[in-house]
Amino acid sequence: MLRGRLPVTHMSSTIAPVKPSGTAGPKEVELVLVKEQNGVQFTSSALVSPSGQTHPSGEERETWGKKIDFLLSVIGFAVDLANVWRFPYLCYKNGGGAFLVPYLFFMVIAGMPLFYMELALGQYNREGAAGVWKICPLFKGVGFTVILISLYVGFYYNVIIAWALFYLFSSFSGELPWIHCNNTWNSPNCSDLNSTLLNDTYKTTPALEYFERGVLHLHESSGIDDLGLPRWQLTSCLAVVIVVLYFSLWKGVKTSGKVVWITATMPYVVLTVLLLRGVTLPGAIDGIKAYLSVDFLRLCDAQVWIEAATQICFSLGVGFGVLIAFSSYNKFSNNCYRDAIITSSINSLTSFFSGFVIFSFLGYMSHKHNVALDKVATDGPGLVFIIYPEAIATLPGSSVWAVIFFIMLLTLGIDSAMGGMESVITGLIDEFKFLHKHRELFTLFIVVSTFLISLSCVTNGGIYVFTLLDHFAAGTSILFGVLIEAIGIAWFYGVDRFSDDIQEMIGQRPGLYWRLCWKFVSPCFLLFMVVVSFATFNPPKYGSYYFPTWATMVGWCLSISSMIMVPLYAFYKFCSLPGSFCDVSISYSAICINMCFISTASMLQWSFAVRIFP
């Protein structure tokens, strides 16, 4: 064991490796013909940065076939099912148009800065979620945290796509199966008397019974401790989803970049078609007015701000490692700043646009049943698998509209699932280099493993497993992961160094606004969100079923299993350093104090510069 104090320079390589000064990446010699006179050519030469995909380290890496492949992949991942079933309902519930005030506020101070940070982080370091932390090895655990979260989400997210596929197959019929109560799965409580049904708590709709009894077979399970065997129909649909995912990912971004041309653009076509149909329905305008009605008094409610902040955190997809993985395949000189602004804006605009589609049909349902809008307005899977199919079933040519709608759900889900899987695959392949030569086999291993675990969600009681995973897999843990990521970049690697990296890529340094957000605003915002998520925790439940204590404990173990990677890896890093624990701790403390002093001095310089040079 070494005696004496460990040199600070040794420890600093663990916190944030020192980047040699003057490294501006490889250069090429450019010869320019100035003029030609009497057969003699006069030229000038200059050193220029290469326009290809080479990193300053000299590493080569696969890149997207076209820039649009990357943009569509990011948009396809960020724009998912939650944009359709979550944002419109939150907007309606929290003051209509007034909800846009906290939503846009948090979008500007936290959503866009974090989105920009992840794109730049992945593009500069050209590795997955774990490998990028070579810039600050102490925080590498957060890379494994986000990889695990993406893996956990895949266990149940693929099941939603399987449900949509099941509904799509069922839509190819002369009469949709969720219209009447004369099916084998219907109970005596099922009623076609829709005009009075919504006010009768003892009756159920055909659409509700089709989802819970015809698709899920929930009535054959008494709870999460009575799952039963996987249903072969849903298992087959899940297998089709897994096959599609595998052949979309097995060759890397060269194949997935082509798939998103369909999966990322199709939802916009379908949403537009549904909107054109929806606004012609009776009651549609009333639904849209309710969606946009402004109630500024709701802004006095703290819960409205909390829900806006939560929506921003989850809708943009930061913290899953997907943005890092996708941007790592960009060319080194790609303008990631412009990409961040474009893609995050499109995501928010899509959420807002989908609200017109959803509430035009909800207004129609409210008018048809002669009930208040809040009786039919809901969020989550119930909106897209119960309420919306019921509305479609009342239209002329209902089977055609049902096919169109569920194709949209499929495309929304597939590219988001592809993003999550790519995060896991890229993150692990970049961390364990020997897997590079076996990407096809490793991808097969990941998707098959996901399929096997997902089988628990397609049993009779599978909806209980689904609800438990949805509640714990990416809740507090994803907020914690992004918080540690923001702290690692801003306070340990350093905003100045990070800004230098961005300038090296795109030729311009991030402005004061972005640096202030990365340094102070975003970490404080995320810390607030982590505290709120703990303070407002509610045990999971499905309908009237409350999960037993042991199931909640299993859920917390799942959540902690990803978060614990941060301290575990940091502890491992401490133990693997030469010197005693006291030596390492003293050096580490000295570095933290030094970095805080430098950061404070930098902020004072920025403020002074702003005052002198406004």
The answer to whether the annotation marks 195 as part of a ligand binding site is no
Tokens of 115: 């989105």
CB-based contact 577:14 (threshold 8 Å): yes
- Tell me the C-alpha distance between 378 and 396, whole Å: 24
- Cα–Cα dist 205/360, whole Å: 21
Tokens encoding 245? 């995912």
Q: How far apart are CA 163 and CA 232, in angstroms?
A: 13
475 marked as part of a ligand binding site: no
Cβ neighbourhood burial of 4 (10 Å; 0-12, 13-18, 19+) = exposed
Is 283 marked as a binding-site residue? no
The two three-digit tokens of residue 564, written as one number: 């614990």
**DSSP tag of 2:** -
76 annotated as belonging to a binding site for a ligand: yes
Question: Do the Cβ atoms of 505 and 327 come closer than 8 Å?
Answer: no
Residue 97, marked binder: no
Query: For residue 43, which phi and psi values (nearest 5 degrees)?
Result: -125, 160
Q: Which residues pair with residue 30 across a beta bridge?
A: 46
Q: Is 577 left (phi over 0), alpha (psi -120 to 50) or beta?
A: beta
Tell whether the torsion through CA atoms of 392, 396, 398 and 401 is positive or negative.
negative
Residue 505 backbone class (left: φ over 0; alpha: ψ -120 to 50; beta: rest): alpha
Q: Is 501 exposed, middle or buried (0-12, 13-18, 19+ CB in 10 A)?
A: buried
Contact status, residue 207 vs residue 383, Cβ threshold 8 Å = no
3-state DSSP call for residue 36?
Answer: strand
Half-sphere exposure of 10 (CA within 13 A, CB side): 14
Q: How many helices (H) and strands (E) does the chain have?
A: 28, 4
Length of the chain (residues): 614
In sequence order, the β-bridge partners of residue 33 are 43
Question: In this structure, are residues 371 and 199 in contact, taking their beta carbons and an 8 Å threshold?
Answer: yes
Which residues is 36 bridged to in the sheet? 41
User: What phi and psi values does residue 41 have, to the nearest 5 degrees?
Assistant: -95, 130
Of residues 482, 120, 80, 480, the one with CA closest to residue 318: 482
Look at residues 458, 483, 471 and name the one whose alpha carbon lies nearest to residue 557: 471
Was 370 annotated as part of a binding site?
no
347 annotated among ligand-binding-site residues: yes
Nearest to 444 by CA among 431, 419, 417, 425: 425
Residue 449's contacts (CB-CB under 8 Å, 6 or more residues apart) are none
| Binding-site positions for Na(+) | 76, 78-79, 83, 315, 347, 412, 415-416
| Binding-site positions | 76, 78-79, 83, 315, 347, 412, 415-416
